[in-house]
Structure 1
């Protein structure tokens, strides 16, 4: 089953034209979580980061996953 992962963060937006073959929706969700956390880690700045991934199949969106990294100095 082919899944597409459209990505948007604080600096970048991309529509997945190629897709990835995965066994099913659960695998696609795990892949989206791994992607979002990796991107958030890479783009997080002093003020934090927001990453949005929309998982879709060939017909329609299936899942929207958002990861927010917030930073607050406590000193």
Structure 2
């Protein structure tokens, strides 16, 4: 649900990379749910890896905006 909200707000601006990232995230979440319901291990593995990368990216962005460490350089 949060990804859909973020998608709407990104459409208001000119940042197309986050829009494509959010769209890809929504697709992977749908595939992950499908893999869980149908028990398809490959989909579940892809969803797990994607979720880990997505969380790491969001943590990086948060640290970047808060200027944690030397990220502002």
Relative to the length of structure 1, the TM-score reads: 0.33
Kindly indicate which of the two structures has a greater share of residues assigned to helix. 2
Kindly indicate which of the two structures has a greater share of residues assigned to strand. 1
Relative to the length of structure 2, the TM-score reads: 0.34
Q: Which of the pair has more CA radius of gyration? A: 2
Q: Which has the higher contact order (CA 8 A, sep 6+)?
A: 1
